[in-house]
Amino acid sequence: MPKTKVDFDCGKCPGYCCSYPRIVVTKTDLQRLAKHFGLSLDQVKSRYTRTYRFESDKAEDRVKERILKHKKDHIYESTCGFFDQDLRRCTVYAARPNVCRDFPDGKKCGYYSFLKFERKHQGDPDFIPSA
């Protein structure tokens, strides 16, 4: 199957998707990270992830999942703990979780399109919209 040509460049983005508060990891992701770091599954879980719980009156809306820990960031409120905030890129790219591998799940990234538009209209190729 031919690879779809994408219409975005992650290298020109300040890491917006890495600022998502819930970056979910699966057991396969944890195993990949454990192998990458030469750590046990339990060590990876405790160092790099936490449990996220969303409670609701409706049982079908309740969520319990394992997500990556974050750290404060100078552009966004926080970013994934694996994100290099100076170089604005992933430090575990080869071992990144599936959700990151699949993002944005198509040939376009809405944030990159917005960023490209703003940079053109601001006349600044490095412009980053602030919150």
**pLDDT interval class at 107 (50, 70, 90):** confident
- Does any domain span residue 79? yes
If one counts the domains in the chain, the total is: 1
Residue 24 is given by DSSP the state B
pLDDT the model gives residue 95: 97
- Does any domain span residue 33? yes
- Does any domain span residue 127? no
- Does any domain span residue 71? yes
Given a cut of 60, is residue 14 above it in pLDDT? yes
Domain membership of residue 25 as a residue range: 18-102
In terms of C-beta density within 10 A (0-12 exposed, 13-18 middle, 19 or more buried), how is residue 24 classed? middle
What is the per-residue pLDDT across 113-123, written as a single tens digit (0 to 9) for each?
A: 888 888 898 89
- Does any domain span residue 117? no
- Does any domain span residue 65? yes
Nearest partner of 89 among 79, 99, 97, judged by Cα = 79
- Does any domain span residue 113? no
pTM (two decimals): 0.79
Task: Outline where DSSP puts E strands in the chain.
Answer: 49-54, 63-68, 70-72, 78-80, 83-84, 89-90
- Does any domain span residue 116? no
